[in-house]
Structure 1
Amino acid sequence: MLKADERLDYLLAEELRIIQSPSVFSFSLDAVLLARFVSVPIVKGQLVDLCSGNGVIPLLLSTRTRGKIIGVEIQERLYDMAIRSIEYNQLSDQLEMMHRDLKGVPKEIGYSKYDVVTCNPPYFPTPSAEEINKNKHFAIARHEILCNLEDVIQTSSHLLKQGGKAAFVHRPGRLTDILTLMRKYRIEPKRIQFVHPMIGKEANTVLIEGIKDGNPDLKILPPFTVYDENNEYTPEAKKMLYGE
């Protein structure tokens, strides 16, 4: 099942395994944070995860909902890894992967019919050719080469039914852009949580959830801190990562 340079890692708080490789972009804490932050229907529903990479968010969401989950990934290598991870965990009845450009997905799978859309998108504008990572897998995952923030939010809106929820993880420096684009595409921001690497350090990650055609009422949740003063995981981070 594993190919050259691949390994089978644990998703630590769950009894799940995921295929990873050092030569392509591995999932980060951001993906775990988003999968824990988003509100999901427990019993049924239809969910879509955009920019799925090796399928980490669909896998994690499968522990929180019995709804059907579609993951969308444009890079063939990552899509293939996600497919094999889903099969290994015997989740093919619940999880489906699509090897697609997200911009064309609503036309293919349907407009205004999904309960939840999640996305951990590329964070950074495309740099010059000299600056960009020579590893194309890393470059595409990190930079807005094949899709940008507006593509992500517009596609999310197209997929969501009225009252459906979209959740994103990003960098705080893009928060104004995110809020502006969510409003532009009828996703009303409802919940924001800032993630701080340590107590006393400024936030380096933001989680945001909105409702399509929702009423204005934005809540700022208590901050989430990853490490304590001893550079060890905080109790809330341990619980999220290890189930402790």
Structure 2
Amino acid sequence: MLHLFICLAKEGSKVSNGMNFIEFWHHSNRFLLQKSRNMKKTMLSFKNILLLACPLAILTACADNTSDTTTDADTTSTAHDSGAHGGAVTADTTSAMMAEASLSGTYADTTVSGTARFDRQDNGKVKLVLNLAIPAKANKSVAVHLHEHGTCADTAKAAGGHWNPTNTAHGKWGEGQFHSGDIGNVKLDAQGNGKIDVETDLWAIGGSDAQKNILNKTVMVHGGVDDYKSQPTGNSGGR
């Protein structure tokens, strides 16, 4: 529309702001040049947005929602229950900035929900924000780990053991030896809601470093609590 207006204007004619055509032409060209530059920037930004949506990788979330005899939140557990619940998630492997897993029940008679979101921070670390809602576990704690395979098949047995790429002993996150997947216990409130945040340079979202890449793993919520010492799982209860 702007080009069309310039073509129809007569030399020396006035435009609305008092400029003659020649002045307007130069002003418009400067405007168009700036607009063109902005459009290029916008196109580049849009291209980046498209790249963010390209290849997808799978992460999985599984949770246990059956009754148990778990005692105090972060101490001991005598849980022997089972019953995995999970949901598939997508993660961006082009920019490796974010991965998210949605937790949901795989059995019709269970109620469990939540999200596990991994974000790469400006400092290069990865931050996990895990939100859980498990009404059947109200006022209890549940153990959360990353397991080595990204599937909840066969009541989560197919997820394998704890993700332990450095072949260390199981333990408490940040203290002595621990698995890269030893996230820890989440305390649930009277409604069964709980949250945990973890920020670390031990993880990466995608990439070639198998000792850090969290993609194609499982976020496992167990039926009991992690005692942080029993090998190799912390006696964390059912899957």
What band does the TM-score fall into relative to the shorter chain? under 0.3
TM-score calculated relative to the size of structure 2: 0.26
TM-score calculated relative to the size of structure 1: 0.26
Which one has more relative contact order, counting CA pairs under 8 Å at least 6 apart? 2
Give the structure with higher Rg (CA).
2
